[in-house]
């Protein structure tokens, strides 16, 4: 069983992960509109990963005997000034998500809820990777983004990303 407090926090985090997916899909749509199709691909896959994150928590709540309650997802930002703004927003957003995960971890620790801690450990690792990727994307852009030829190559590189579902999710289904 899950405590009421933990169940509520995880349900909110399911919403937050879905919101992340919504935000990244909105960024992808914007990037398509300015013909950065490689970056649009990268963010479309990122959106898919966020839905996976939501489903990992969704599955966990069910397995732990809790009740999944889906909450309203707010509208994401739809207008961006350029690619640089998208990449900056992404890093900021991932830092916020890390803080959210740490907050749930604090509560799980206080409650000695070891199974939730175990589940959250996956997200702690994932956030290290997410912040790393977002930082790298922003740094590359800051270094090379003003050069049109370099931007063309960066866009191509981003277009090579392919979606792979996380093992934790495929194992559970």
Residue with tokens 């990777």: 129
Q: Which is nearer to Fe ion, 44 or 53 (CB)?
A: 53
Q: Which is nearer to Fe ion, 22 or 37 (CB)?
A: 22
What are the two backbone dihedrals, phi and then psi, of residue 170, each rounded to the nearest 5 degrees? -70, -30
Q: Which of 15, 44, 53, 93 binds Fe ion (CB under 5 A)?
A: 53
Residue 70: how many CA atoms within 13 Å on its side-chain side?
9
> Among the candidate windows 6-14, 50-58, 110-118, 136-144, which touches Fe ion by CB under 5 A?
50-58
Q: How far is the CB of 166 from Fe ion (least distance, A)?
A: 11
Q: SS3 for 108-135, per residue?
A: HHHCCCHHHHHHHHHHHHHHHHHHHHHH
Using an 8 Å Cβ cutoff, are 102 and 125 in contact? no
Q: Which is nearer to Fe ion, 18 or 154 (CB)?
A: 18
In angstroms, rounded to a whole number, what is the distance separating the alpha carbons of residues 133 and 12? 25
> Among the candidate windows 12-20, 68-76, 79-87, 151-159, which touches Fe ion by CB under 5 A?
12-20
Q: How far is the CB of 79 from Fe ion (least distance, A)?
A: 23
Residue 15 makes contact with Fe ion by CB under 5 A: no
Q: Which residues bind Fe ion (CB under 5 A)?
A: 17, 50, 53
């Amino acid at each position: 069983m899950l405590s009421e407090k933990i169940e509520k926090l995880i349900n909110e985090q399911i919403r937050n992960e879905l919101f992340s997916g919504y935000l990244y899909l909105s960024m992808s749509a914007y990037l398509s509109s300015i013909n950065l199709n490689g970056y649009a691909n990268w963010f479309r896959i990122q959106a898919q990963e966020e839905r996976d994150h939501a489903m990992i928590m969704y599955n966990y709540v069910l397995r732990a005997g809790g009740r999944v309650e889906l909450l309203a997802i707010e509208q994401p930002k739809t207008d961006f000034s350029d690619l640089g703004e998208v990449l900056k927003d992404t890093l900021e957003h991932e830092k916020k998500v890390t803080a959210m995960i740490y907050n749930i971890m604090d509560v799980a620790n206080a409650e000695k809820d070891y199974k939730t801690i175990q589940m959250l450990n996956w997200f702690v690792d994932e956030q290290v990777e997410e912040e790393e990727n977002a930082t790298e994307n922003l740094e590359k852009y800051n270094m090379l983004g003003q050069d049109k030829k370099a931007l063309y190559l960066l866009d191509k590189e981003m277009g090579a990303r392919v979606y792979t579902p996380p093992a934790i999710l495929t194992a559970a289904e």
